[in-house]
A and B are shown apart, each in its own frame.
Chain A
Amino acid sequence: MFTKDKITTIIFYILLITGVIISLFPFFWMISSSFKTLAEISAYPPSLFPDNIMWNNYVDVFDTLPYGRNLFNSFFVAFMYTFFGVFISATGGYALSKYREAPGRRLFFAVILSTMMIPMQVLAIPLYILMAQIGWINSYPALILPFAAQGFGLFMLKQYIDGIPDDLIEAARIDGCGEFRIFFQIILPVIKPAVAALGTIYFMNNYNLFFWPLIVTNKTIMYTVPVAIAQLQGQQFGIPLHHIMAAATMSTAPLIIIFLYFQKYIISGITMGALKG
């Protein structure tokens, strides 16, 4: 017979699997709908699978939108943002961690930390005006640079660098290694896991960002994917749901692949904050 413990385990499995199904079902619905005709999506009762596989939806999106350009924008911006944001967080975190004698260090750190909780929405209005003044509306720098200096990223990498023994750096100095070489050849390789974690989080966040690109772009060719999809959804008449679903599937698939590949880092990055905080 089953023991009480075994029954508990089985109940747990049933509940957990139900949870996973609820979690993943909307993705199935997105993919299934992306192969339906517009009429079939809005038919009642709904069909689980498409009657005919409409590969055309995936081709037609590129007529409805400059979707190739939108995808490029999203990838390019997210990549540049990640590279740049992580790099300045690493150098800044290193400075704050290992030059403890430097005058002003505490003040800089306190000011940066105190802004960690400020949401992007609070900054959107003045940043928009700034972008308009310097002529950066509809430009890549406006999509990439404004949120690159994040207190959160600097703090995370500083915490990690704190764990590197000073002796390692001192030894390199005695051997005549310059300060910049120490950073690039000793520190950077050691903090690789933290850089990967932060990098994946930055990439995901930026790739999915909606509020800021919505504000700072108004030409379709400069839209990132979320703004492009939102624009289709916002049409007054004849919302092309089949194209929206194809576009959504195409934009989600690469991110899921990246997530599956880097999931170890994402999870460590997210839990790092919780356990130390």
Chain B
Amino acid sequence: MEIKNTWQKIKDNRHFYYFLVPFLLFFSLFMLFPILFSFYMSLHDWGGLGKAVFIGFGNYLDILTDSTFHTALYNTTFMWLTSTPLILGFALILAVMLNKKEVKFLKYFRVGYFMPFVTSTVVVGVIFTILLDGTFGLVNFFIESIGFEKIRFLTSTAWSKISIVIVLTWRWVGYNTIIMLAGLQNIPEDLYEAAEIDGGSTLQKFFYITVPMMRPIILFTFILSTIGSFQIFTEPYIMTGGGPMQSSLSVVQYLYNAGFQQFRMGYASALSYVLFAIIFVASYFQIKIGSGEEGI
């Protein structure tokens, strides 16, 4: 009886399946299958050609002691932890200024700030390669003209990561400004009016109204930045090639090298899973910490 009932329900709702099938087909083939297959591969030693040899968690154990991976992880974490506060800080300040009633031309400012995000990362990479060049770059021209020595932005181990951070910041401030501006516009006006009646200063209003009200949005942008940071690939690939001496090698570029230069497919699959685990844990903690006392 129960089975018959379910069957009847399926029949009555058959259009549900008709409508969902196209999405589901591609989703299963190109999302679910790779996720599972990737895990299977990560348990094997496989060069792409020939037979895969089952080695259990051997690849994962190798990752633990792989010093190049540690370097890549350190570099990526460094880029994440330096660029994110810069990006979100600048974005919040710009959004607050744009949200002031007396500031006009919002539409034009928004377009201007958004432009870096619209452009492809490869194009951004090639532009900054010449802007930051160690001998003829315009940035070095300014640095020299205010009396400092030229900086080898892209070819010194001390500066290569910082150069990537500069580019990331330039590219992502506008995008986050737009999100934060939308958040600010959602804060009820009467909160500020009440604070004004009580004699609150601009700074007090910022720290006691704006920041707490913006917390969900800041958390959202923080999580996006974290996920994005651990996917960094194009900027170092174009600008520094991960060098010099692996000083700007990112986790994804290491994964790319392992998979598509050395064809260690099993090892690269294990790296993919580690990368996913890192992103997952980082976002999970941010949600936990960010939602705090209310415990969403």
Chains A and B form a bound pair: yes
From DSSP, what is the main secondary structure of chain B's interface residues? helix
**In the complex, A115→B31 CA distance in Å?**
8
User: Beta-carbon contacts of B84-119 to A below 8 Å, as 1s and 0s?
Assistant: 000000100010011010110000011111111011
- The answer to whether B207 has its CB under 8 Å from any CB of chain A is no
- The answer to whether A199 has its CB under 8 Å from any CB of chain B is no
Inter-chain contacts of A248 with B (CB < 8 A): 123, 126-127
Q: Which of B62-70, B152-160, B264-272 is the interface stretch?
A: B264-272
Complex partner residue of A92 from B24, B48, B115, CB under 8 angstroms = B24
User: Are B234's CB and A211's CB within 8 A?
Assistant: yes
- The answer to whether B19 has its CB under 8 Å from any CB of chain A is yes
User: Beta-carbon contacts of A132-172 to B below 8 Å, as 1s and 0s?
Assistant: 00000000000001111101001000000000000000000
User: Are B34's CB and A88's CB within 8 A?
Assistant: no
User: Beta-carbon contacts of A92-121 to B below 8 Å, as 1s and 0s?
Assistant: 101110010111010010011001011111
- The answer to whether B33 has its CB under 8 Å from any CB of chain A is yes
**In the complex, A127→B38 CA distance in Å?**
9
> Nearest residue in B to A85 (C-beta to C-beta)?
B26
Per the 8 Å Cβ criterion, residues 216-252 of A in contact with B are 225-227, 229-230, 233-234, 241, 244-245, 248, 251-252
Complex partner residue of B19 from A19, A42, A124, A183, CB under 8 angstroms = A183
Interface size on A, residues (CB 8 A): 96
Closest chain A CB from B12 CB (angstroms): 7
User: Are A26's CB and B128's CB within 8 A?
Assistant: yes
Complex partner residue of B121 from A5, A26, A210, CB under 8 angstroms = A210
- The answer to whether A174 has its CB under 8 Å from any CB of chain B is no
- The answer to whether B249 has its CB under 8 Å from any CB of chain A is no
Once A33-B130, A179-B15, A233-B238 are accepted as A-B contacts, the answer to whether A149 and B115 lie under 8 Å apart by CB is: no
Inter-chain contacts of A115 with B (CB < 8 A): 27, 31-32, 35
- The answer to whether A72 has its CB under 8 Å from any CB of chain B is no
**In the complex, A96→B24 CA distance in Å?**
12
User: Are B23's CB and A92's CB within 8 A?
Assistant: yes
- The answer to whether A13 has its CB under 8 Å from any CB of chain B is yes
Closest chain A CB from B16 CB (angstroms): 4
Inter-chain contacts of B175 with A (CB < 8 A): 270
User: Are B13's CB and A101's CB within 8 A?
Assistant: yes
**In the complex, A115→B118 CA distance in Å?**
25
User: Beta-carbon contacts of B218-261 to A below 8 Å, as 1s and 0s?
Assistant: 00110000010011011001100100000000001001100110
> Nearest residue in B to A11 (C-beta to C-beta)?
B97
Complex partner residue of B20 from A8, A92, A124, A241, CB under 8 angstroms = A92
- The answer to whether B208 has its CB under 8 Å from any CB of chain A is no
User: Beta-carbon contacts of B263-296 to A below 8 Å, as 1s and 0s?
Assistant: 0010011001101100110010000000000000
**In the complex, A103→B147 CA distance in Å?**
72
**In the complex, A260→B20 CA distance in Å?**
34
Q: Which of A43-51, A61-69, A188-196 is the interface stretch?
A: A43-51
User: Are B114's CB and A126's CB within 8 A?
Assistant: no
**In the complex, A199→B180 CA distance in Å?**
23
Inter-chain contacts of A112 with B (CB < 8 A): 23, 27
User: Are A30's CB and B118's CB within 8 A?
Assistant: no
Inter-chain contacts of B165 with A (CB < 8 A): none
- The answer to whether B182 has its CB under 8 Å from any CB of chain A is yes
User: Are A252's CB and B123's CB within 8 A?
Assistant: yes
Once A26-B128, A117-B280, A121-B255 are accepted as A-B contacts, the answer to whether A207 and B103 lie under 8 Å apart by CB is: no
User: Are B220's CB and A274's CB within 8 A?
Assistant: yes
Inter-chain contacts of A270 with B (CB < 8 A): 175, 178-179
- The answer to whether B141 has its CB under 8 Å from any CB of chain A is yes
Closest chain A CB from B141 CB (angstroms): 5
User: Are A255's CB and B237's CB within 8 A?
Assistant: no
Once A149-B27, A256-B115 are accepted as A-B contacts, the answer to whether A244 and B126 lie under 8 Å apart by CB is: yes
Closest chain A CB from B40 CB (angstroms): 9
Using a CB–CB cutoff of 8 Å, the interface residues on chain A facing chain B are 5, 8-9, 12-13, 15-16, 19-20, 22-24, 26-27, 29-30, 33, 41-46, 87-89, 91-92, 94-96, 99, 101-103, 105, 108, 111-112, 115, 117-130, 145-149, 151, 154, 179-180, 183, 204, 207-208, 210-211, 215, 225-227, 229-230, 233-234, 241, 244-245, 248, 251-252, 255-256, 259-260, 263, 266-267, 270-271, 273-275, 277
A–B Cβ pairs within 8 angstroms, 25 of them: A16-B94, A19-B113, A19-B173, A24-B112, A30-B127, A112-B27, A122-B273, A126-B34, A126-B269, A127-B34, A130-B30, A146-B30, A204-B118, A211-B234, A226-B121, A226-B122, A230-B122, A233-B125, A234-B241, A245-B126, A255-B118, A267-B114, A270-B175, A271-B182, A274-B179
Q: Which 8 A-B pairs have the closest CB atoms?
A: A92-B23, A208-B120, A99-B16, A95-B19, A102-B16, A102-B13, A271-B182, A126-B34
